[in-house]
Amino acid sequence: QKEVEQDPGPLSVPEGAIVSLNCTYSNSAFQYFMWYRQYSRKGPELLMYTYSSGNKEDGRFTAQVDKSSKYISLFIRDSQPSDSATYLCAMITDSWGKLQFGAGTQVVVTP
Amino acid sequence: GAVVSQHPSWVICKSGTSVKIECRSLDFQATTMFWYRQFPKQSLMLMATSNEGSKATYEQGVEKDKFLINHASLTLSTLTVTSAHPEDSSFYICSATSGRAGGDTQYFGPGTRLTVL
């Protein structure tokens, strides 16, 4: 079993819809959670960084963490074609900041 | 802030030659840098963790004599692919953190696409 599970998609939504992404993890020691966006042939870009259980909002993005269920989510409101990318969840696994990534979910927002 | 650059962005080389990729943190001191490779439609695979002034720690299955990593300063790490072969063709991405204990985030470079003919 992988430490971090993420559905690779693709997930196709119409413009303006809410995009819902999630990851599950198995190691209860994970405390820091991130969501990255990666466009084709580019490096990942940090979108959201969360520590505690609950919600964190930044513009059209909302990140949720449920440590009791080992489940994290990312919601994108009012999705735009420019949101079409691969979204990767990631968790810090040691004191040096080493990350464990999910497989990445490909999102396609159609006009 | 937190900008990481890579050079070159794209390189083609002949089989058997060596290629050096540079990773720089432009506006912060990176005590720790990470090197990843990524194949098409796959997630990032960590190759090694590099701490300034010390030897890199390689992940299982990564040949340290083939992928030489040097982290000589707080803003520069290099990855040298020695005696490159076509199967080394991939997208190589570096990232950097300021290395504070606990939950420091990684900031990624734009990646380097290596094609070995």
> What is the tens place of the pLDDT at every residue in A69-101?
999 999 999 999 999 999 999 998 887 788 999
Residue A89 and residue A12: Cα distance in Å, rounded?
18
- Top-confidence residue, B6 or B105: B6
- Tell me which chain A residues have a C-beta less than 8 angstroms from the C-beta of B90: none
For residue A31, how many C-alpha atoms fall within 13 Å in the half-sphere facing its CB?
Answer: 8
Average of per-residue pLDDT values in chain B: 91
From B43, B49, B101, residue closest to A101, measured CB to CB: B43
- Tell me which chain A residues have a C-beta less than 8 angstroms from the C-beta of B26: none
The per-residue pLDDT for range B57-89, each reduced to its tens digit, is 999 999 999 999 998 888 999 999 999 999 999
- Tell me which chain B residues have a C-beta less than 8 angstroms from the C-beta of A104: 43
* B103 pLDDT tier (thresholds 50, 70, 90): low
- Tell me which chain B residues have a C-beta less than 8 angstroms from the C-beta of A7: none
Q: How far is B74 from chain A (nearest CA, A)?
A: 15
Contact B34 A99 (CB under 8 A): yes
Is 60 exceeded by the pLDDT of residue B102?
Answer: no
Q: What is the pLDDT of residue B31?
A: 82
Contact A96 B105 (CB under 8 A): no
CA distances from B43 to A38, A86, B28, B74 (A): 10, 10, 26, 27
For residue B43, how many C-alpha atoms fall within 13 Å in the half-sphere facing its CB?
Answer: 21
Three-state DSSP class for residue B24: strand
Residues B55, B60, B65: CA angle, nearest 5 degrees: 50
Percent of chain B with pLDDT strictly greater than 70: 95
